[in-house]
Every structure is written in C-alpha cells, then in structure tokens.
Amino acid sequence: MNPVIDEPPVAIPGLKWANRFATLGADFYTELLPTPLPSPYWVSRNRALAGELGLQEEWLASEDALAVFTGNQLAQGLQPLASVYSGHQFGQWAGQLGDGRAILLGEIDTAGGPQEIQLKGAGMTPYSRMGDGRAVLRSSIREYLCSEAMHGLGIPTTRALCVTGSDARVRREEIETAAVVTRTSPSFIRFGHFEHFSYSGQHEQLKALADFVIDNFYPACRESAQPYADLLQAVSERTAGLMAAWQAAGFCHGVMNTDNMSILGLTIDYGPFQFLDAFDPGHICNHSDTQGRYAYNKQPNIAYWNLFCLGQALLPLIAEQDQALAALESYKTVFPQALEARMRAKLGLPDARPEDKALIENTFKLLAADKVDYTIFWRRLCHFQSPEGREAVRDLFLDRAGHDAWALQYSERTTPADIGLQADLMLKTNPKYVLRNHLGEQAIQAAKLNDFSGVHTLLTLLQAPFEEHPGHDSHAGFPPDWAAAIEISCSS
C-alpha cells in the first residue's frame, strides 16, 4: 500500500467495476497506486461524459471526487495498474516503454458498454524510464479539450472526464505545474502491446492478448478460420477509417509512434497535435519532428507502416505470411474509399460519381496553392448556394481565376437544388469550431492564472462544433498572426 494514500477507499455511488484487463495477469502490468499531489483543485469537469458513465453530479462535485481523480484517494472497486508495452518511435524500434505516467484505475460498466478509467500524470511507474511520471497543466488541458473536440466531430477517440491541477512544480523547458487528466476508453491497448510480447518472445502472452482483444472488441473474428489474420484486417480497416476522418478534418496527430496507435482505431495520446489553420499538406505540427515524418500528408502512409509493424508482431499467431499481407491490403482500398466518402460529404455531393475524385483533388490543390484556412473554407462552402455565400468563398482566394475555374467545376457537379438540399447536411459535416492552437493557448494562459472560464467555454463549443453558438464568432475566426509562431513539442 502506498503510504501516502492512507484513507480507506471511498465509495463512488452507482458505479460497477469490472476490470477485465487485470484478468490478463501479472505479465501484462504492474499493480501500483497513484502518487498523490499536493493541494489539488478542479480545472474542468465534463458533465456530458460523467452522465454517460453514470457518475452522479453531486458526487462529481465532491471533495472525494477531486481526491480520486487526482490520485490522492482510492475508491472501492479499483484495481490500479500500469501496463507494459513497447513500440517503434520515429521509425526506430524503441524497446520497452509502457505506461510511464498513466495509471489505469479500473473498468466500469456503463449503459454504453465497459469503459476503462485512467489517470494520466499520476506519478512514476516501473515504466517511467527517465520521466517524472507527471503531466503539466498545459498538455492536460490540450488533451482534455481535444479528446472532446474529436468526439464532438464524430471522430473515434479516447475521451476525457476531468482535469485537476496542483501547485506541484514540474520541470519541462521551463518550470510548470502538475495536472492530472482522467481519460476513458473501452481499452487503452496499443499496437505496442502486441509488439512487446512478440519481440520479447512471449508468444503465449501474445496469444492471450490477441484472444482478449478478439473476445472483448472484435468478436466477429472468433468465427473465422484465421482469427488473428482477421483481427489484423479489422484493425486495418478501423485505422483506415480513422485516417480518413483525420485527413478530412485537417487533424495532425504529431506523434504516430506504434505505441500511440490504438488497437480499437481510436485517436489516442494527444501531444503536439494540431488542427490545420492554413491548408498546407506538408504541415508538421510537432516541433520535435525535424524530419517531418508525421507531417499531415504523411499520416495515411504512416498508419499503414504502423499496421505493418502490428502485422509483423502478430506473425507468430498467423500461419501464413501471405494471410497477414492480405489482411493489410484491405487498408489500401478502405482508406481511399473512406476519404472519398468524407470529402464528398464535405462538398455536399449527394451521390458518388467517377468524376468526384478529380474534383476532390482539385479542391485540395486549390486550397494548398493559396494556403486557404481549412476550417473556414468548408464552413463557408455550406452557403455556396447563395450569391453572398459564393462571394464569401471566393474572398478566401488570391488566385481568383483558379478559384473561378474550380467553382465552375463544382457548380457543374451540383445543381443549386442539390446544394440547397445538402446545405443542412454540410453544416453537420463541416464544423464551425475546431481546437485551433491559439484557442487552446489562450485558455491555457488564463488557466495558469486560475481562470478556467476559457477551458469551459471551449469545451462547450467543441462538444457541439457544428452548432452556431451565437456570440462566439471570435472562436470561429481566422487565427491571429501570432498563432503561426506557437511551437508545440513532445514535451508534455
């Protein structure tokens, strides 16, 4: 027992704990307790998610909740642990990594299915390597807001329940303060978990892990004659869908190492991510990524590379290498199809036609040539049917001739009636609000001075990003000039 947590566990009313991951056994994790933080305070609570999890509002407002979600107090039913995984980082085998600062509290049954609850920044674990086991307020707010922004956009993601802060000092490039973000997911298993057991020769554990994932998350694979190849194919297809969603939303993850790839095809581990401001296909959001390995336009290929690593890790379970290769092949058809479907929806095209591919390519080319603001372009396009709407789109381009040629191509593809019918749908596909770097930055600077109103406002806007939210147009405008100078690195 951690000597610092000396209070008896509190009850969290209404929750049923399941803790399936813990049944995998001691080879998969180390049981341990969070390390408490001094003088914790609330930064933000996500009431929508709390409701989905079945947490009572009064309890979430309590001192007990603050203590539990800072790691200062245990609750009945928890089985805290840190899991072990490995991974490829920036293209190189990095060996053993693991939850260096995340502690899985356990898993609860909810109306929407089981959800694991994890504290990120909860102190050192056997996998902390050189790290201090902590997360800073800045990065915790970014993860919290972006998880919910992605969820609001309908993009598969882990979610975030709350952020608590502390005055404990943490050294990064400068001294910052510690915070804990409570995340939830049906599972936090990564490609790197499979790589860990495969490359260390623990093939029984590899099989147990694959069986666990199949039984709990991909039950259809169980019916197959080759369940593990089918698992690889199912993960490839989900990942392809995720990449299409990221590309269509203009989302850059920034650190697509295999340990940051969810086996469920969820966006996971928010670090130096960015939503594009000006459209630049080669944009690199991670200041530490000097080679641009994880640039926006490289993400789909990197995901395939990562799936290849997963396939290699699964080979001991797959009889024929050809089966693994065939499973991976599915990515190459599912990704372009999924991207095309998303782009067609963004353009408001009611059906699929062969010429759409060229129109989509031309749209991207045009946006890139003029570095047009990605989110504003799509939102304005929703009103293309009206003369003022058309003019507002045209105003975004310096190259008017280029724009006009594209607009003609677009108009020919869509009769005004179509577009009118589609406008409503387009407004539900092209968000008004995304978590731009400068918006996060402003909320973080205020939060450092104990003003959390900016975090709350952003949470409200980003959880419903397709709605107008009158009075908040300033959150939907062009980024200020200083936004381009914001540097976000791996340091978090």
* Residue whose structure tokens are 């509290």: 105
Q: Which does 165 bind (CB under 5 to 8 A by kind): Mg ion, ligand AMP, none?
A: none
Least separation in angstroms between residue 159's CB and ligand AMP is 17
Question: Contact, 121 vs 133, CB < 8 A?
Answer: yes
Strands (E), 363-459: none
In terms of CB distance, is 98 or 440 closer to ligand AMP?
98
Q: Which residue number, 254 or 465, has a Cβ lying nearer to ligand AMP? A: 254
- At a CB cut-off of 8 Å and minimum separation 6, what does 475 contact? 433, 439, 457, 458, 461, 469
Per-residue binding letters, 247-266, with ligand AMP (x by CB under 6 A): --------x----x------
Nearer to ligand AMP, 77 or 95 (CB): 95
**441 makes contact with ligand AMP (CB under 6 A):** no
**Side-chain-side CA neighbours of residue 130 (13 Å):** 3
Which of Mg ion, ligand AMP, none has residue 101 at its interface (CB below 5 to 8 Å by kind)? ligand AMP
98 is a site residue for ligand AMP (CB under 6 A): yes
Backbone phi and psi for residue 306, each to the nearest 5 degrees, phi listed first: -65, -40
Which amino acid, 204?
Answer: E
Name 219's Cβ contacts closer than 8 Å, sequence gap at least 6.
none
The stretch near ligand AMP (CB under 6 A) out of 32-40, 129-137, 300-308, 361-369 is 129-137
Catalytic residue among 99, 259, 370, 373: 259
Spatial distance between the Cα atoms of 78 and 57, rounded to a whole number of angstroms: 20
Task: Taking each helix axis as running N to C, give the angle between helix 437-448 and helix 453-463, from 0 to 180 degrees, rounded to the nearest 10.
Answer: 150
Residue 431 binds which of ligand AMP, Mg ion, none (CB < 5-8 A, kind-dependent): none
Q: 259 an active-site residue?
A: yes
**C-beta of 133: minimal distance to ligand AMP in Å?**
5
Residues 6+ apart with CB under 8 A from 359: 347, 409, 410, 413
23's enclosing H/E stretch is none
We find the least distance from the C-beta atom of residue 257 to ligand AMP, in angstroms, to be 6
User: Which pair of structure tokens corresponds to residue 412?
Assistant: 């020919």
Does position 133 interact with ligand AMP (CB under 6 A)? The reply is: yes
Tell me the closest approach of the beta carbon of residue 84 to ligand AMP, in angstroms.
Answer: 10
As measured in angstroms, the least distance from the Cβ of 123 to Mg ion is 16
Residue 250: CB minimum distance to ligand AMP, A: 22
Based on the shown chain and the rule CB under 6 A, indicate whether residue 101 belongs to the binding site for ligand AMP: yes
Q: Kindly tell me which residue out of 45, 88, 134, 432 binds ligand AMP, with binding defined by CB under 6 A.
A: 134
| CA distance to 36, 68, 140, 188, 459, per residue, from 164 (Å) | 12, 10, 9, 21, 15
Stretch that binds ligand AMP, among 13-21, 95-103, 387-395, 459-467 (CB under 6 A): 95-103
Burial class (CB in 10 A: 0-12, 13-18, 19+), 482: exposed
Hey, what are 325's tokens?
């290769």
Question: CA-to-CA distance for 333 and 300, rounded, in angstroms?
Answer: 12
Tokens 């607009």 sit on residue:
407
CB of residue 269 to Mg ion, shortest distance in Å: 4
Of the pair 326, 490, the CB lying nearest ligand AMP is at 490
Given 131, 201, 292, 480, the residue binding ligand AMP (CB under 6 A):
131
Contact with ligand AMP (CB under 6 A) among 27, 132, 211, 467: 132
The total of other beta-carbon atoms located within 10 Å of residue 166's CB is 22
Q: Does 107 bind Mg ion (CB under 5 A)?
A: no
Using the Cα atoms of residue 462, residue 467, residue 471 and residue 477 in order, give the sign of their dihedral: positive
Alpha helices (H) in 56-201, listed in sequence order = 57-60, 63-68, 137-153, 191-199
Q: What is the SS3 assignment for 113?
A: coil
Query: Near ligand AMP by CB under 6 A, which window of 47-55, 125-133, 140-148, 464-472?
Result: 125-133
Does 128 help bind ligand AMP (rule: CB under 6 A)? Answer: yes
Q: How many CA atoms lie within 13 A of 361 on its CB side?
A: 6
> Is the Cβ of residue 116 or residue 269 nearer to Mg ion in the bound state?
269
269 lines the binding site for Mg ion (CB under 5 A): yes
Selected from 184, 185, 260, 375, the binder of Mg ion by CB under 5 A is 260
* Interface contacts to Mg ion, rule CB under 5 A: 260, 269
* Interface contacts to ligand AMP, rule CB under 6 A: 97-101, 127-128, 131-134, 255, 260, 269, 271, 490
Please identify every residue annotated as catalytic.
Answer: 259
